């Protein structure tokens, strides 16, 4: 009995061990099929992109995917978002593959750091990588700040390249000299690992490759793996759009227009709703961007000047000041102290917004306020201050003709003969109070 019992316990332990190995094996999905997740970053590196990649890394890890392939095409982006993505790559126990594609795509500026941080870097034919020198957004950095930004970016990219055993010298030259190379040159310089024409070719090249992750070596088994292409949800796409500073700026101006139009025309409701929704979206978008509050203050000051121009006679001086403040504030709205940040507000958007804002306040709102202040020209109130002629003797009561109509009138200065020109100075119920006009 004892040998049988021992044999059964050995088999049970063996079965449990196999089940545990199956459950926790990183190379087999929960359905038992090998899978590879593929996502796309086509645009700037911003907070929405960083959150999206962080989420997708977690999803691929939970699905026990062989690896996560990121198709990349970017002109660059924000330093803070780039650091978040690089940190996720360097600490991931899931193999990350950056695939610069399709042909004609680029991994420029911040995209260089993201590509070098991947476990495996791949480029498609007809693509390029490089030009990671720090640049300013809207204004030039002074020599001291430029040197600091360049040294910081150079140290950052050296660390990444050394971690992934890539060409450290070239990586630093991409920062200091803004060099850019093709996929064949990148392969020759040991900047990337391989060149692949398609995802299918890439999977064949990756099969059997050993990758060093944060939890040790992982051997990829991608031959015959199912490719799961994950598209962004509507919410993720919306957040990515809102991370565009041009969109944030437009929403902010729309919010200001809507709320002020509602305040000057109470009861319209629709402009107020549009204004509040636009401002909320603008606040979210600005929250994700490196905002210069001095620029924001100048924009608010410009709006105040435009409003004062409507109420105060300044012969255009307040308008000129408002246009200058709005222009400077718009150009300064996004900070320029980040290394290799390329996100900026377009000059075209700024100029159009400044011209439209000046037109909006000086013409649209101006006409509305002037109409409110204008003396009534119809009805009983429109008669006050007008001239008429007596039809009968006013002693003191009688009748006069004014605006082609016959009115009861009372003289404010004694007897007035018929045919005399009079001025309507007031109204007592339906009787005009008039005074003789000296000729």
- Please say whether the beta carbons of 399 and 407 come within 8 A: yes
Q: Which of 148, 178, 180, 204 is catalytic?
A: 148
C-alpha to C-alpha distance for 201 and 431, rounded to whole angstroms? 96
The string of DSSP letters for 298-347 reads HHHHHHHHHHHHHHS--TTHHHHHHHHHHHHHHHHSB---STTB-----H
C-alpha to C-alpha distance for 275 and 426, rounded to whole angstroms? 43
Q: Which of 101, 109, 278, 330 is catalytic?
A: 109
Report which DSSP code applies to 298: H
Supply the angle between the helices 110-117 and 79-90 in degrees, to the nearest 10: 10
Q: Which helix (H) or strand (E) holds 54?
A: helix 47-62
Token pair for 106 = 């680029």
Supply the angle between the helices 347-359 and 293-311 in degrees, to the nearest 10: 20
- For residue 148, indicate whether it is catalytic: yes
Cβ within 8 Å of residue 150, ≥6 positions away: 133, 134, 175, 176, 339
Question: Can you tell me which residue has the tokens 């090998």?
Answer: 34
- For residue 109, indicate whether it is catalytic: yes
The number of beta carbons lying within 10 Å of the beta carbon of residue 4 is 8
Q: Which residues are catalytic?
A: 109, 148
């Amino acid at each position: 009995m004892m040998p049988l019992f021992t044999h059964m316990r050995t088999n049970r332990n063996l079965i449990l061990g196999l089940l545990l190995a199956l459950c926790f094996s990183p190379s087999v999905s929960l359905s038992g099929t090998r899978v590879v997740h593929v996502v796309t970053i086509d645009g700037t590196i911003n907070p929405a992109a960083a959150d999206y990649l962080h989420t997708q890394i977690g999803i691929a890890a939970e699905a026990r995917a062989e690896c996560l392939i990121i198709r990349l095409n970017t002109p660059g982006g924000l330093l803070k978002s780039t650091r978040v993505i690089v940190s996720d790559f360097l600490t991931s126990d899931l193999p990350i593959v950056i695939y610069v594609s399709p042909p004609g795509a680029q991994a420029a500026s911040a995209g260089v750091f993201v590509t070098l941080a991947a476990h495996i870097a791949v480029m498609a034919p007809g693509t390029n990588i490089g030009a990671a020198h720090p640049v300013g957004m809207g204004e030039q950095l002074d020599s001291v700040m430029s040197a600091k930004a360049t040294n910081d970016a150079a140290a950052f990219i050296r660390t990444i390249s050394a971690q992934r055993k890539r060409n450290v010298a070239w990586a630093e030259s991409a920062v200091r000299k803004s060099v850019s190379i093709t996929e064949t040159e990148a392969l020759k310089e040991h900047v990337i690992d391989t060149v692949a024409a398609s995802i299918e070719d890439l999977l064949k090249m990756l099969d059997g490759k050993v990758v060093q992750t944060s939890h040790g070596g992982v051997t990829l088994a991608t031959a015959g793996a199912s490719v799961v292409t994950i598209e962004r949800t509507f919410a993720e796409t919306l957040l990515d759009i809102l991370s565009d500073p041009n969109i944030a700026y437009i929403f902010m101006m729309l919010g200001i227009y809507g709320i002020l139009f509602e305040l000057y025309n109470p009861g319209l409701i629709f402009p107020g709703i549009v204004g509040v929704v636009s401002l909320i979206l603008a606040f979210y978008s600005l929250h994700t961007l490196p905002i210069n509050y001095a620029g924001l203050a100048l924009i608010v000051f410009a709006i105040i000047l435009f409003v004062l121009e409507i109420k105060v006679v300044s012969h255009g001086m307040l308008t000129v000041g408002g246009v200058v403040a709005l222009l400077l504030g718009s150009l300064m709205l996004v900070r320029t102290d980040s290394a290799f940040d390329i996100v900026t507000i377009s000059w075209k958007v700024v100029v159009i917004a400044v011209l439209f804002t000046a037109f909006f306040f000086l013409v649209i709102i101006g006409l509305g306020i002037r109409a409110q202040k204008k003396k009534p020209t119809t009805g009983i109130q429109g008669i006050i201050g007008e001239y008429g002629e007596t039809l009968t003797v006013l002693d003191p009561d009688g009748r006069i003709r004014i605006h082609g109509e016959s009115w009861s009138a009372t003289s404010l200065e004694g007897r007035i003969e018929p045919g005399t020109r009079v001025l309507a100075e007031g109204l007592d119920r339906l009787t005009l109070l008039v005074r003789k006009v000296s000729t």
